[in-house]
Amino acid sequence: MIEFRNVNKVYNDNIFALSDINVTINNGEFVFLVGPSGAGKSTFIKLLLKEIEPTNGIILVNEMDLTKIKRKDIPYYRRKIGVVFQDFRLIPTLNVYENVAFAMRVVGSPQREIRKKVPMVLSLVGLSDKYKAFPNELSGGEQQRVSLARAIVNNPSLLIADEPTGNLDPETSMGIMEILNDINHAGTTILMATHARDIVDNMRKRVLAIEKGTIVRDEQRGVYGYED
């Protein structure tokens, strides 16, 4: 699913954001990416999303070498990955149904499929009764559920969640994690960057810990392990 082989990322000021990263994430895994601020988590995710290029090394996603993808093909690659952000990134002028349907229209799904699939994923995230609501009419937790629905509506094999509970209260956060867990159990690989100690410690999934651009810990059923 994901493989980093001897990956380095050096920025212009000769600072190693990532240094000699070698890691494999298999199909169907749920992996937490943890570490102090500035450790390299965002760089790790940006490399996977093809937002930046590694200085050297090889990155494989579904056996595709990201370093060889042409610029014109990057949008098509990204459409195969579900992404959830801390700040939701919903389109404010579209209602819940339209925000989720938009992700299907981008990939050219027929209208018949959109009408069938969107209600299904809204039901999965518990928002069937909110399909006509606009983002500004929803709570933060509800907006993140819409974001989740949008991320999974095209059946991605990989879901990347970047601090998806960062703006949410603990109870709402656990609700989001339950949905992510269900998505994972259905077969989707999940990589989640987080500072949420309680979530990591409670869920006991695989933990990749990054410090100063280096993976210092890779544990099955791991814990958060930081004081920040």
- The answer as to whether 131 is a domain residue is yes
b vs e for 44-56, b when ≥16 Cβ sit within 10 Å of the residue's Cβ? bbebbbbeeebee
- The answer as to whether 137 is a domain residue is yes
**pLDDT at residue 136, as a whole number:** 97
Cα–Cα dist 27/16, whole Å: 29
**How many structural domains compose the chain?**
1
Picking from 113, 100, 116, the residue whose alpha carbon sits closest to that of residue 149 is 100
**How far are the Cα atoms of 83, 109, 176 from residue 154, in angstroms, in the given order?**
11, 9, 19
Query: What's the pLDDT tens digit per position in 171-201?
Result: 999 999 999 999 999 999 999 999 999 999 9
Q: What are the pLDDT tens digits along the chain (228 aa)? A: 999 999 999 998 788 999 999 999 999 999 999 999 999 999 999 999 999 999 999 999 999 999 999 999 999 999 999 999 999 999 999 999 999 999 999 999 999 999 999 999 999 999 999 999 999 999 999 999 999 999 999 999 999 999 999 989 999 999 999 999 999 999 999 999 999 999 999 999 999 999 999 999 999 999 999 875
- The answer as to whether 186 is a domain residue is no
- The answer as to whether 190 is a domain residue is no
**DSSP states of 154-168:** T--SEEEEESTTTTS
- The answer as to whether 23 is a domain residue is no
Mean pLDDT over all residues of the chain? Answer: 95
**DSSP states of 88-145:** ----TTS-HHHHHHHHHHHTT--HHHHHHHHHHHHHHTT-GGGTT--GGGS-HHHHHH
Look up the domain containing 104 and give its range.
91-155
> Which pTM does this prediction carry?
0.95
Tokens 């082989």 belong to 5
- The answer as to whether 108 is a domain residue is yes
- The answer as to whether 107 is a domain residue is yes
- The answer as to whether 184 is a domain residue is no
